[in-house]
Structure 1
Amino acid sequence: MRDILRKILEENDFLTKNEPFGIEEALQADRTDSFGFDFLTVLFLDEEKFSKGILNEYIERLFKEFSQQDDLKMGWDKNLSLLIMLKVDSIDISTKIQSLIFDIEEDPFMFKKYILSYTDKQEDIFTEQLGYYDENEVLKFLNHILYDSEKFSIFKSKKDCEEYLLYDIVSKLFIKLPYLNIINQDKEIHTLMTEIDESFTEEEREILNKLLELKDNGGDDPAIQKVLEVIGVTENE
């Protein structure tokens, strides 16, 4: 996934560097221009190394290393993000890991934190399908998959197949990477949204309306706990 993330970020005008501050498991991506700046660290971890203690060690070390840089701009600490690419054994992650992900992403200190879980099989499928595109067209590939209504229908039905696994990881990338934007294709959007709406049950449509209402009232970044409450998931589940 390292090479995939590097290509995605470079297509979004980031400059990337492997093993920043001597951390083998990390990839650093920085973007600076006249409109602002972003600093993203991508940390690649396996499930067996995923613990609050280990993550806190990485986070504290990274923050310390950043703070010692000579060329930092004012407000740099407000523009730090950490994406944890978590390789798991199964796409159905345990309650323990789900709870830990919730705790880490909700922690407001030092970094904005995002955690994306994926399996070896998903990485293999993604790499194979991406191979049909030019090496500089990762964003085009991502949008193609996201707009594929057939893959979305399979994803919604939660079928354990390659289309489901591919759509799952692509949709997660759009959710966890704030730099990814859906391209403006009004016709495709209208067609896809129509199919999505028609595929919803009344209960699912009610949940969607509540989520949209939550977004209107809470802004673009509502608390995860409120989202979970809307969809009927409690923290203990």
Structure 2
Amino acid sequence: MIIDLIHQALDAHNFSKIHENDSTSFYVREDGTAIRFAVLHRLDSLMKPGELNAIINHSAPVEFITDPAFKKNCDLICIHHLDKLAEFKNYEEQIFEIEEDPHFYKKYVLYYSDTEIEAIKGLNFAKLNELISDKAQFDIYKNEPTAATKYSAAAKIFIKLPFLALHINKMELVPLRLQIDEAVAEADLSTL
């Protein structure tokens, strides 16, 4: 489910799938002389960054390995399943070790729980894009960012995938001074 959504996101951002095996798909996007690579990898168990790099290097297609831009301009997106979101604390250090490893690829570990999968069941990338732009849903998420909701799963995807464009619905902002004056009046503090 998550892998399908990420594939749709890559496709929507003009990446083409070049090669795949059981756990890894390789994508490229060319725009004139600019080239960007993406690798989508199902990470069944967490491992040391060097081991992960070796696995990706070993399974990458020849045309990727021979391109000097591959290791410098490649997003390695690792999808990792947790039974429950609360398990993240048990794996936090290992996940950060992978993401912060400076060698080879820019690494992103997108972890998800069964509850989040259930929450986004039936969504495609277009609907996910609409959801992430919903200000009311964002306000709910802002108050409970650790709750496993449809919006939290969408937010995590957009946070972890740096190439995704966020479509923002522009709104008229109310000046802060007016908001303060209104809050003071509502609380009847103006007579103090």
TM-score by length of 1: 0.63
CA pair 39-157 structure 1, distance change in 2 beyond 3 A: same
Rounded to whole Å, the distance in 1 between the matches of 2:32 and 2:62 is 23
Q: What corresponds to 1:151 in structure 2?
A: 137
What SS is found at the alignment partner of 2:96?
helix
Query: Which among 39, 42, 46 is matched to residue 41 of structure 1?
Result: 39
Count of residue pairs the alignment pairs up? 176
What SS is found at the alignment partner of 2:28?
strand
Q: CA deviation at 1:14?
A: 0.7
CA contact (8 A) 1:2 1:27 kept: no
Rounded to whole Å, the distance in 2 between the matches of 1:169 and 1:11 is 19
More strand by share: 2
Instruction: Say which one has the larger Rg.
Output: 2
CA pair 143-78 structure 1, distance change in 2 beyond 3 A: same
Query: Which among 41, 47, 50 is matched to residue 51 of structure 1?
Result: 47
Identity of aligned residues (%): 24
Query: Which among 157, 165, 170 is matched to residue 149 of structure 2?
Result: 165
CA pair 62-10 structure 1, distance change in 2 beyond 3 A: same
The amino acid that maps onto 1:107 is: D
- 5+ residue gaps, structure 2, are 181-192
What SS is found at the alignment partner of 1:187?
coil
Rounded to whole Å, the distance in 2 between the matches of 1:71 and 1:25 is 18
Q: What corresponds to 1:11 in structure 2?
A: 12
Superimposed CA distance per residue, residues 134-153 of structure 1 (whole angstroms, 9 cap, x where no aligned partner)? x6xx2x42332122233223
1:68-217 equivalence runs, <5 A: 68-69=62-63, 72-128=66-122, 130=123, 138=125, 140-158=126-144, 164-187=148-171, 190=173
Q: CA deviation at 1:106?
A: 0.8
What SS is found at the alignment partner of 2:36?
strand
Rounded to whole Å, the distance in 2 between the matches of 1:50 and 1:75 is 26
Q: CA RMSD in A?
A: 3.0
Rounded to whole Å, the distance in 2 between the matches of 1:73 and 1:87 is 31
What SS is found at the alignment partner of 2:163?
coil
What SS is found at the alignment partner of 2:144?
coil
Q: CA deviation at 1:66?
A: 4.1
Q: CA deviation at 1:85?
A: 0.8
1:215-226 equivalence runs, <5 A: none
TM-score by length of 2: 0.77
- 5+ residue gaps, structure 1, are 199-237
Q: CA deviation at 1:45?
A: 2.5
CA contact (8 A) 2:84 2:114 kept: no
CA pair 186-25 structure 1, distance change in 2 beyond 3 A: same
Structure ranking higher on relative contact order (CA contacts 8 Å, 6+ apart): 2
CA pair 72-88 structure 1, distance change in 2 beyond 3 A: same
What SS is found at the alignment partner of 2:156?
helix
CA contact (8 A) 1:63 1:110 kept: no
